[in-house]
């Protein structure tokens, strides 16, 4: 278990985050949870992981699989491991790096364009290149975001990115990993994000979880105007 003082320090640095588990601090943003995981390394060190969990899945197991995650990097792109005994000394530097790398997510109004660009940068940095294991959930998030925003341009953009990327995937290797072809996976993925009303109802239902209700809320926005929260959209469906 992570020491409470460490969790408290990180929450004080990013007050929009709230405890979700003994080692995580999250917030809810319309269709996802995201925040920081204090990841214990052996017995004397920890590192910070920024991760995002989906709220559109129909099982707890699937909702606990991040759609994307990355660890905190230090100067010159080095891994930033923090000794527990050195936490007080290193925390200021670590939290500054976290603010620069993840700060755009920890606001009450999250710019969609910033998130999209950040995901593009994350995708381009992943090694090896064109690895479906690293990319398929990021694509799913982009489709979910476009569906939530009801943005045809973003939906088409996400699909074009997927269509271009799967040309690089080895079909036989993909079939071994996912028990389906890339084309079958793509067709199922597109079908999953066709019905916006069903999507909203499922997310709204998952939002009722007691731990999620307690989290602070933010919203995706475009041009500085937040999108309606899922609760408001959920109510409007049945007016």
Residue 223: predicted pLDDT: 66
Residue 238: predicted pLDDT: 36
207 closest CA partner among 48, 15, 73, 26: 26
Is 70 exceeded by the pLDDT of residue 122?
yes
Mean pLDDT calculated for residue range 83-108: 95
Distance CA 174, CA 185 (A): 10
Neighbours of 64 (CB within 10 A): 10
**What percent of the chain lies above the pLDDT cut of 70?**
92
Q: What is the pLDDT of residues 140-192, one digit of tens each?
A: 999 999 999 999 999 999 999 999 999 999 999 999 999 999 999 999 999 99
The rounded mean pLDDT for the chain is: 91
Mean pLDDT calculated for residue range 21-34: 97
Domain spans of the chain?
A: 4-105
Query: Model-level pTM?
Result: 0.89
Is 80 exceeded by the pLDDT of residue 232?
no
Instruction: At 116, list the tokens.
Output: 């999209």
């Amino acid at each position: 278990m992570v020491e409470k003082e460490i969790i408290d320090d990180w929450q004080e640095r990013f007050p929009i985050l709230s405890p979700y588990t003994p080692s995580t601090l999250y917030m809810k943003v319309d269709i996802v949870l995201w925040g920081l995981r204090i990841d214990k390394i052996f017995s004397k060190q920890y590192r910070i992981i920024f991760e995002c969990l989906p709220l559109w899945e129909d099982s707890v197991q699937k909702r606990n699989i991040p759609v994307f995650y990355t660890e905190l990097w230090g100067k010159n792109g080095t891994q930033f491991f923090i000794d527990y005994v050195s936490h007080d000394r290193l925390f200021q530097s670590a939290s500054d790096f976290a603010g620069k790398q993840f700060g755009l997510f920890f606001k009450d109004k999250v710019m969609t364009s910033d998130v999209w660009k950040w995901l593009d940068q994350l995708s381009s940095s992943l090694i090896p290149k064109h690895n479906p294991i690293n990319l398929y959930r990021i694509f799913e998030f982009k489709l979910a975001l476009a569906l939530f925003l009801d943005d045809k341009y973003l939906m088409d953009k996400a699909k074009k990115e997927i269509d271009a990327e799967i040309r690089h995937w080895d079909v036989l290797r993909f079939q071994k990993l996912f028990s389906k072809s890339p084309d079958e996976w793509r067709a199922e993925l597109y079908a999953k994000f066709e019905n916006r009303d069903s999507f909203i109802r499922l997310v709204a239902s998952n939002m009722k979880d007691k731990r999620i209700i307690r989290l602070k809320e933010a919203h995706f926005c475009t041009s500085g105007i937040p999108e309606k929260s899922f609760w408001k959209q959920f109510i409007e469906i049945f007016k």
